[in-house]
Amino acid sequence: MTTVAIVGTGVIGASWAALFLTQGLDVVATDPAPGAEERLRGALDGTPTDRLRFVADAGEAAAAADFVQENGPEREDVKHAVFAVLDEAARPDVVLASSSSGLLPSDIARGCPHHPERFVVGHPFNPPHLIPLVEVVPGRDTAPEVVDRAVAFYTSVGKRPIRLAREVPGHVANRLQAALWQEAYSLVERGVATVADIDTAIANGPGLRWAVLGPFVNQHLSGGAGGLAHVLAHLGPPTEQWWRDLGRVHLTPELAETLVAGVDAELAGTDDRVLVTARDTVLRTLLAAKAAQPDLP
């Protein structure tokens, strides 16, 4: 594959474009929003853009591509309209992938009347040009070889794809995040801890280990010689008690206001652009350190 179409050039699409360009691929980008090309080129400051072409028509972008990565709004009706164009214009052998963070691929694929078998969700984590994860999720009609090709393509550009055996709303990583958010919001709502305290607890506690190893392997290592079996036998019962005590919350206007105010207080005087730069610098350092450790899974 030599040419990728980026359909939708917001935060996620621009980051995908940065990744593909740095990997030496040609990128044909498209977005109907006024000023989209100017914003994309601004977001790519520092990334070589000699292989970038911006076109006004999504069909033109798809027709020129060997792989299509769609990054439009998280609305089924919008996705159907976009993929009707992409499905009509792209060669039949071209994989159509959506960055959708939670919609079911079978639902999105209804927008592909000609070739629903070549559609997959290829959900990245923000920012895609740095975070390796891609969740490859087939729909009901997706051909197995299309999943194979998507996984192979993402791997070839330095990503770490996982292949889901079945579709569920939110895929895997966002469901795991949602479980944490539910309890974090509940702890704030119940007055157990502040927004800043919870961010501190994760960023300076389990989040550090999660950045290196996943939850199961971390649990295994915490069990000493007995490993995960020891943890499940000895800490399983109290963990089940904690599960029964976890909060269930509704995002009421009052709770949303409390959460936003908490983040504002935590970041008072901090420029978000400076924070993003600092985050990305640490991410690059962490990724380089992990790559230098061959014993990590």
DSSP state of 165: S
d(CA 104, CA 189): 31
Who's near 207: CB < 8 A, 6+ residues apart? Answer: none
pLDDT of 187: 98
Q: Is the separation of the CB atoms in 7 and 60 below 8 Å?
A: no
What dihedral angle (degrees, nearest 10) is formed by the CA atoms of 104, 110, 116, 122? -30
Question: For the segment 120-153, what is each residue's pLDDT rounded down to a tens digit?
Answer: 999 999 999 999 999 999 999 999 999 999 999 9
pLDDT of 198: 98
Site of tokens 């990305």: 280
Give exposure, 30-66, as e/b (b: 16+ Cβ within 10 Å).
bbeeeebbeebbebbeebebeebebbeebbbbbbbbb
Domains annotated for the chain, with CATH where assigned, are 3-163 (3.40.50.720), 173-291 (1.10.1040.10)
Half-sphere exposure of 116 (CA within 13 A, CB side): 13
Q: Is 134 helix (H, G, I), strand (E, B) or coil?
A: strand
Question: For the segment 251-273, what is each residue's pLDDT rounded down to a tens digit?
Answer: 999 999 999 999 999 999 999 99
pLDDT tens-place values along the chain, 297 residues long: 999 999 999 999 999 999 999 999 999 999 999 999 999 999 999 999 999 999 999 999 999 999 999 999 999 999 999 999 999 999 999 999 999 999 999 999 999 999 999 999 999 999 999 999 999 999 999 999 999 999 999 999 999 999 999 999 999 999 999 999 999 999 999 999 999 999 999 999 999 999 999 999 999 999 999 999 999 999 999 999 999 999 999 999 999 999 999 999 999 999 999 999 999 999 999 999 999 999 999
Tell me, yes or no, if the pTM score tops 0.85: yes
Q: Is the separation of the CB atoms in 108 and 79 below 8 Å?
A: yes
